[in-house]
Amino acid sequence: MLDRLSVDRLVDAAERLLGQFGSPDSPQLLKSLHQAAEELPDQLIRAVRRRFTAAGLYVLRGLPVDADLEPTPASWAVADDSGVLWDVTLLLLASVLGHPIGWRGQQDGRMVNNIVPTAGREEEQTGASSMVLLAPHTEDAFHPRRADLLLLCCMRNHDRVATTAASIQQTSLSAEDIATLTRPVAPILPDDAYTTESDQIPVPVRTLWQTPEGLRLRFDPAYTRLGDADAGYRAAYSRLESELARVAQAVALEPGDVLVVNNDVVVHGRVPFQARYDGTDRWLKRALVHLPNRGHRSASEQGEHGYGQPVIDPYCDEG
């Protein structure tokens, strides 16, 4: 639980930035985030920069987001200014951890995405779905510049709809399966949340790789072309899916909770639920974080084309 004084300072900083620059996506606001984050209380910074356990995630609690909260938007496209104070607050937390990043091809390039059920998209494998199990996946697994950390801030969750999470570091895989899944065999394609198409030829990628800190994974079965793989690879992939299901946990976020996920260790998803579309449905905000000094991915990934999806990184000239 974040202490009240630190939370008050955090929200005050977000209010000042929003008042000065007017939008969470203002280039001037984004450039000001790190200075503002450095001025936050040391106690807050220490709490946010918690060390990961083998579970690869933790929850920050204590943001007062349930006070006078507007109705859940019907879709991200009509969210407009819904909860923008919490967009900036989440970006500040992201800036305590690293560099916030975004995608020009997703949700009109907004740095913070609204995750809400959307009528007509109930059965998609995207955050807009509701009636189907959102399969466990690495966030933006298709891209070499995917986030190192994923932040999910709960705005509303009356029905206690659970986010699912499973850590590769809690699985038990044979050395043979690990060696098989380390080979770049099957491509991962961009998911349906991206609005632009690419004519780039799909590139096979590794599912697993070893680091000095343990196994890492790049996993998105709904968008992986396993038909390109041999029978042995598909069998090992299936055993990985089973292991991730075995160690999975369900996290029902409450308003004001921020789930912090190590995106190279943990796959996340969501259980099915029945959306009402009456302004009371589950509503999360999502922010992505790049850790400049992590250095855990191979040079081969940096040579991938990323299907032409440009990254928004206010602290990097690339993309």
Domains in the chain, please, with CATH? 4-312 (3.60.130.10)
Q: What pLDDT score was predicted for residue 318?
A: 44
Q: What pLDDT score was predicted for residue 246?
A: 98
Q: What pLDDT score was predicted for residue 19?
A: 97
- Please name the residue ranges forming H helices in the chain: 4-21, 27-38, 42-48, 84-97, 175-182, 231-247, 299-302
Q: What pLDDT score was predicted for residue 297?
A: 78
pTM (two decimals): 0.96
Q: What are phi and psi of 39, to 5 degrees?
A: -90, 0
HSE toward the beta carbon, residue 128, CA cutoff 13 A: 19
Instruction: Say if residues 209 and 97 touch (Cβ distance below 8 Å).
Output: no
**Cα 250 vs. chain centroid, distance in angstroms?**
16
pLDDT in tens, the chain (319 residues): 999 999 999 999 999 999 999 999 999 999 999 999 999 999 999 999 999 999 999 999 999 998 789 999 999 999 988 999 999 999 999 999 999 999 999 999 999 999 999 999 999 999 999 999 999 999 999 999 999 999 999 999 999 999 999 999 999 999 999 999 999 999 999 988 886 667 889 999 999 999 999 999 999 999 999 998 999 999 999 999 999 999 999 999 999 999 999 999 999 999 999 999 999 999 999 999 999 887 667 777 888 999 999 999 988 744 4
CA dist 209 and 204 (Å) reads 14
Between the alpha carbon of residue 110 and those of residues 75, 105, 210, 287, 295, the distances in Å are 14, 9, 33, 10, 26
Q: What pLDDT score was predicted for residue 300?
A: 74
Tokens at residue 132, please? 């189907």
Tokens at residue 183, please? 């080979």
Instruction: Say if residues 82 and 153 touch (Cβ distance below 8 Å).
Output: no
Q: What pLDDT score was predicted for residue 140?
A: 97
